Structure 1
């Protein structure tokens, strides 16, 4: 029996991993663990849809389809648009929820949800792409104008 270098638990001399903390006990086990972690990271990032047969893509929809490309792949202008959409969308949703008893708040809520980037991609999946940012911004503007008009009219 030897102690685990990580947690000091007694483990068998031939053990590849510690039974208490899971730490690898030799270089081969460490490399195996590293490869496993890399495969899991690819599956989470949506890379499993192109091979391996993992559960990354049901009906051909991967995580990249739903959440879009990674932030590193976007231009600075696209990142700014995405951040602005999130801020504007969530701020509109919060305002709508604070005034939910007013009928105009329902249009504000719809507008806030429409401008969020995941909504744009999810609504575009059935037609094979994403809706244009300008189309979603126009939809947001229509809902907000209707909401504000109803908010003050009623």
Structure 2
């Protein structure tokens, strides 16, 4: 019997991974785990297949950390957060009005994480232009209802 170098639990001599902590016990198991982690990272967003490389706010399919975004993309993301949260806060102050509900939807639609959430059911994230258009339509309808009613 051998013991795990990480957690000191007893292991079979043929064990590739520790049953307690999951640490790889052989060099092959460590390489296999590294390859699995790389594949998972690419599948969950590390690999941008080409074209637009803008993560969750630029139309690409891959996730790009904030530090790798261009200044324009960072400005777009920040602007979306400001517009989304600002619209939602204003709408919540007017909640008894019928137009406030459309403003809440507009605020939620423009938030950058919504693109990632739409990627699963739709197969790909909504484009920035679609988000902005949806925001504009819902916001204009909401304002119109607030003014007219």
TM bucket, shorter chain: 0.5 to 0.7
- Cα deviation, residue 110, structure 1: 3.3
Match of 2:53 in 1: none
1:92-151 deviation per Cα after TM superposition (whole angstroms, max 9, x unaligned): 2243245322112123123313433466796xx79xx83537x826x6456445544644
Match of 1:44 in 2: 44
Match of 2:127 among 120, 125, 130: 130
Match of 2:33 in 1: 33
Aligned partner of residue 132 in structure 1, secondary structure: helix
Match of 1:6 in 2: 6
Aligned residue pairs, count: 137
Match of 1:107 among 102, 106, 111: 102
Check the 8 A contact 1:120/1:136 in 2, yes or no: no
Check the 8 A contact 2:48/2:60 in 1, yes or no: no
Take 1:140 and 1:85, find their aligned partners in 2: how far apart are those partners? 10
Structure 2 unaligned spans of 5+: 51-55
Match of 1:16 in 2: 16
TM-score scaled by length of structure 2: 0.65
Question: Residues 143 and 13 from structure 1, CA distance in 2 versus in 1: closer, same or farther, beyond 3 angstroms?
Answer: closer
Check the 8 A contact 1:4/1:11 in 2, yes or no: yes
Structure 1 unaligned spans of 5+: 51-62
Check the 8 A contact 1:86/1:115 in 2, yes or no: yes
Take 1:65 and 1:142, find their aligned partners in 2: how far apart are those partners? 20
Quote the RMSD (CA, aligned, Å).
Answer: 4.0
Question: Residues 8 and 145 from structure 1, CA distance in 2 versus in 1: closer, same or farther, beyond 3 angstroms?
Answer: same
- Cα deviation, residue 153, structure 1: 6.2
